[in-house]
């Protein structure tokens, strides 16, 4: 009975601490969206705009790739912590 009440208390406290700090910091990309000129009158303007679009696309892709990598690391940490807890509970029974 003591183990069950301890488990319930621990689960409750973990839930509170997780919720209180979840999404407290949301990263944002620092990529600059290119502005399309009203009139593209020179080849230079056309090429510059194309290059700016390519740079923006690369920046967004890198941001997404980095965020996905961080997400995988956090998911692995969650799985490890859950596994550690489950092993502990099994040992206590």
Cβ-contact 66, 30 below 8 angstroms: no
For the stretch 49-58, contacts whose Cβ atoms lie closer than 8 Å and that sit 24 or more positions apart, written own/partner, are: 56/31, 56/32
Instruction: Give the dihedral of Cα atoms 36, 38, 43, 45; nearest 10 deg.
Output: -50
Domain ranges of the chain: 25-92
pTM over 0.85: no
pLDDT exceeds cutoff 60 at 7 = no
Which of 9-18, 34-43, 48-57 bottoms out in mean pLDDT, i.e. has the lowest? 9-18
pLDDT band at residue 26 using 50, 70 and 90 as cut-offs: confident
Q: Please, what's the largest Cα pairwise distance for the chain?
A: 80
Which of 29-33, 39-43, 68-72, 78-82 bottoms out in mean pLDDT, i.e. has the lowest? 39-43
What's the whole-number average pLDDT of the chain? 85
């Amino acid at each position: 009975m003591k183990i069950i009440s301890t488990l319930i208390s621990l689960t409750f406290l973990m839930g509170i601490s997780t919720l209180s700090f979840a999404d407290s910091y949301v990263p944002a990309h620092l990529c600059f969206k290119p502005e399309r000129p009203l009139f593209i009158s020179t080849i230079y303007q056309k090429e510059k705009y194309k290059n700016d679009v390519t740079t923006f696309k690369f920046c967004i892709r890198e941001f997404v790739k980095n965020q996905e990598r961080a997400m995988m690391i956090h998911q692995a940490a969650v799985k490890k912590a859950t596994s550690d807890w489950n092993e502990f509970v099994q040992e206590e029974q």
